[in-house]
Structure 1
Amino acid sequence: MKTEVSIDAGMLTWAIDRAGYELHDFTEKMPKVSAWISGEKNPTVKQLETFSKKVHLPFGYLFLPEPPKEKLPIPFFRTNSPQTNKVSVNVYDTILLLQQRQNWLKEYLKENEFEPLPFVGRFKGNNNVSQIVNSIRTVLGLTEDWATHFRTWQDALNHLVEIIEDKGIITVFNGVVENNTSRPIEVDECRGFVLVDDVAPFMFINNSDGKAAQLFTIVHELAHIWTGHSAGFDFRTLQPANDPIEVLCDKVAAEFLVPENAFNEQWIIDKDITSSARFFKVSEIVIARRALDTGKISKAQFFAFYEAYKNREFIKKQSQGSGGDFYATVKKRLSLTFASHVNNAVKTGQLLYRDAYRLTSMKGDTFDKFFAKTA
């Protein structure tokens, strides 16, 4: 006989809403759930397990007397909207996952006598853009025109990430929850977030975003680390939220990637967004933003350009095939620096394999093969 369980209807509807589904659409696809909510029938344990996976909720949560108070551990800023405490379950789960990894790494580094990073929070309470930009360049060992020495923006991006990781900042690129491609993180909802810590700062960049646009997100997050503020953001139309720290970090990113004096000189030569983007190794939309900021184009021209650019990028993305090397993808999703700390901890007996599997979202042969390839 199959074991049936009684579940509060409010918990079921909360779980469906939390996962981002409309109740009507969800019950059309899973008609049995309607009967559970109305109380006509009770689900079996197996049916409830299937339901919990579908709504991305730990099975045990469904037996709580009322929905738990889930709170984002960081402020999340939306362009043209107030700060929010509500994001999609995919973004929420990703923030919690990286927070768990950060908590482990922080303790591991302290136990192994790693020193705090001196640049974290160095400019807390200071809103001098040029000072912050100069400090970031100095710490990373980069000149003002560093990106122009690379052939492509991809080369510039790779070089920047390598330096950032070398300085102890964990840099994660992902567009899905863990390795689950059926749980995408929409770019318009989350371009990135940063978890500031003076021992183990973590940055997340949405890998579904345009590669050149990711440069801007990375430097925006560096500014958050230098000013000592954790946050998430959507950066719609590449505009910051109406918050003093977001506006400051936005200005720092713009000046770091496209210095105003150099941009003014370059604009005199070609007066062209595409050529300037090639020169500075950033996306055209970043150059368009800089042109708007410096009064070279109007708001109407910028938004018209933004829409056209977005449509071009969408078409380009649609024509690209999916797939690729899983292990190369996991390197970016995990961060090679973080992976090396996990590997060392396992080898020295400071971390159990069971816990290493949880921290890396891999297990068994996949875990072993990944570390064999990255050793």
Structure 2
Amino acid sequence: MAKANPEILKWARETAGLSLEEAASKLALGGKRVTGSEMLAAYEAGDRSPTQPQLMKMVKHYHRPFITFFLPTPPRSASLGEDFRRLPEAKRDEHQGSVSALVRDIYLRQSLVKDALIDKEEDVIVDFVGKGQVTSAVDSACRTIRDYFEIDIAAYRRRKGAHEAFKYLREKIEIKGIYVLLIGDLGSNHSSINTEAFRGFALSDPIAPFVVINQNDSKSAWCFTLLHEVVHLWLGKTGISAQTHEHKIERYCNDVASHILISADEVSEVYEAAMQSEETFVIALQRE
């Protein structure tokens, strides 16, 4: 069997966000005479070569296809688009491997869907994508999005529970040619990605636009995240979100998404009613 490229072995581990010690532990390397990290370092230096079973473990834990380890140079990493998150560097590094693996999977799915649509001559342009501007008034953006997807907020609010409400919005959005995925891991419970890493991802494409929502978030947050990422598509912005107010685009997407679900006038009405009762404003707003 051909030997794996040592440069690729090191690159794959590092892009998976694993230290030598962490990777060696996951790969169950080491013996009586040499530690796991020493053995892995030897593989990455080209002094030793991993066996095929060891490479298969790397496929699993590095989230890379088997053939990748035999390439002459590391492939170009999939772009996250714009990174709208504001995570501390330590947190960003901690989650980067899992998030990058997830994004690669999303791009692969999107590519397969897009190719299939083109082959079947069903590649209809989704004219919603990229039509918006962050300079548009929030109220105007809300009306545009509600009208385009024919969202009836009264019907949305009549749904029983957060899951049914999300199902209503998802159906309205998917019927317009936008693919909505609920993903929170890399294929197993052991690879679960928490909401510190990401809450949503939008892949802006005129033929096969994708929205991904971290299913590990609370169900009550799914609807907001879905609309938030839809606003990203309307702006033509591919990228990953954590829904903070520290980034101009994120702040705008938050404002539009929240005002689609409840208008400023409704918030004022709820506030006034709460002030005249023993119910707190937050509880009253959640009830609405």
TM normalised by structure 1 equals 0.64
2:160 maps to 1:161 = no
CA distance in 2, matches of 1:258, 1:247: 16
CA distance in 1, matches of 2:88, 2:143: 31
Q: Deviations over 1:16-49 (max 9, x none)?
A: 3222222223335422552352366433333333
CA distance in 2, matches of 1:44, 1:115: 47
How far the C-alpha of 1:65 sits from its partner, in A, is: 4.8
Amino acid in the other structure paired with 2:254: D
Match of 1:254 among 252, 258, 265: 258
Counterparts in 2 of 1:6 and 1:120: CA distance versus 1, 3 Å: closer
Matches within 5 A, 1:1-375: 5=3, 7-8=5-6, 10-28=7-25, 29-31=28-30, 32=36, 34-38=38-42, 41-79=48-86, 88-110=96-118, 111-124=120-133, 126-177=135-186, 179-235=187-243, 239-242=244-247, 244-270=248-274, 271-279=280-288
Amino acid in the other structure paired with 1:37: A
Percent of aligned positions with the same letter in both sequences? 27
Amino acid in the other structure paired with 1:218: L
Amino acid in the other structure paired with 2:245: P
Partner of 1:314: none
Unpaired stretches in structure 2, ≥5 consecutive residues: 31-35, 275-279
How far the C-alpha of 1:144 sits from its partner, in A, is: 4.9
Unpaired stretches in structure 1, ≥5 consecutive residues: 280-375
Structure 2 residue matching 1:176: 3-state secondary structure: coil
Q: Deviations over 1:110-138 (max 9, x none)?
A: 44345322322221464321111001111
Structure 2 residue matching 1:268: 3-state secondary structure: helix
How far the C-alpha of 1:264 sits from its partner, in A, is: 1.0
CA distance in 2, matches of 1:36, 1:94: 25
Partner of 2:33: none
TM normalised by structure 2 equals 0.81
Q: Higher relative contact order at CA 8 Å, sep ≥6: structure 1 or structure 2?
A: 2
How far the C-alpha of 1:186 sits from its partner, in A, is: 1.9
